[in-house]
Amino acid sequence: MSSPTILQTIPLVRIFDEQKAREYYCDWLGFQIDWEHRFEEGMPLYMQVSLGNLTLHLSEHAGDCMPGGKVFLRCNGLREWHQIIAAKNYKYYRPSIEDAFWGGICMYLTDPFGNKLLFSENEEPQQ
């Protein structure tokens, strides 16, 4: 039996406040908005944001998913990106780079809605 060829995985993340989501994902982390959708004016927002090769769907729809999930993301350039976001002095979060027990380094982020993003890079831990 053959399996489908998966072309891309797009995590779906629950949000509750459009303004806070834009401030966190776009203004602080540097994601760009690819598109937005509402069934009509005043309805919940569903939007796609991206940062390099990472794409996320952010949804205000109650039935789409539960808040508090975690997404594990392997990446390169984590130290450089950390410096960029740290320089923005985001009021609500000050992440740090940590040595990961599985090897390499990682940075944990938690958005205003309780969703967790764990960025990991395979790099020798610094002594």
pTM for this prediction: 0.91
User: Residue 123: what pLDDT?
Assistant: 73
Tens of pLDDT, residues 96-112: 999 999 999 999 999 99
The percentage of the chain sitting over the pLDDT mark of 90, rounded to a whole number, equals 94
* Cβ atoms of residues 121 and 75 within 8 Å: yes
> Who contacts 72 (Cβ-Cβ below 8 Å, separation ≥6)?
118, 120
Handedness of CA 38, 49, 111, 119 (dihedral sign): positive
Tens of pLDDT, residues 31-74: 999 999 999 999 999 999 999 999 999 999 999 999 999 999 99
Is a pLDDT exceeding 60 seen at residue 14?
A: yes
Nearest C-alpha neighbor of 31 from the set 53, 13, 16, 15: 53
Can you list the domains of the chain with their CATH numbers? 12-121 (3.10.180.10)
